[in-house]
């Protein structure tokens, strides 16, 4: 029983993404060894964000699957983001 068409991702695509992820890891380690003050946190989390987007889109097939999965995942990420934002509003202005 075939429910939906399956996209076969080539090995080379996965290897390319892996190489990108490893390079980004090295970059984030290198950048955080330099003292940039508060900018360090922003850069490290920005790179982690790019890495997780690559894993979600390619490794977890969100790019190729029914868009419903991507919407659900983005929804949860937004929810966590909103929770962090609201919690900080509370701590900053109490």
Partner 1 sequence: METHRDDTASKIGMWLFLLTEMLLFGGLFIVYSIYRYKNQEAFHQAAHELDVVVGTVNTAILLISSATVAMSISAIQLKNKKFALFLLGTTIVLGLVFLVNKYFEWGIKIQHHIYPGSEVMAQRGQGDILFFGLYYFMTGLHALHIIIGLVFIAVVFARIWNDKISHDNFALHENAGLYWHLVDLIWIFLFPLFYLIT
- CB atoms closer than 10 angstroms to residue 77: 14
Any idea which residue has 């977890």 for tokens? 60
Q: Which of 1, 5, 67, 94 binds partner 1 (CB under 8 A)?
A: 1
CA distance 87 to 58: 32
Rounded to a whole number of angstroms, the minimum distance from the CB of residue 5 to partner 1 is 11
Confirm if 9 and 64 have CB atoms less than 8 A apart: yes
What residue ranges bind partner 1 (CB under 8 A)? 1-4, 6, 8-11, 14-15, 17-18, 21-22, 25-26, 28-29, 32-33, 40-41, 44-45, 47-48, 51-52, 55-56, 58-60, 68-69, 72-73, 76-77, 79-80, 83-84, 87-88, 91
């Amino acid at each position: 029983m075939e429910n939906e068409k399956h996209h076969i991702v080539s090995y080379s695509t996965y290897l390319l993404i892996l190489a990108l992820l490893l390079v980004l890891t090295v970059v984030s380690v290198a950048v955080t060894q330099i003292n940039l003050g508060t900018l360090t946190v922003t850069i490290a989390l920005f790179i982690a964000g790019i890495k997780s987007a690559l894993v979600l889109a390619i490794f977890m097939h969100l790019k190729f699957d029914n868009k419903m999965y991507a919407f659900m995942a983005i929804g949860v990420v937004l929810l966590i983001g909103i929770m962090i934002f609201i919690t900080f509003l509370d701590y900053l202005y109490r």
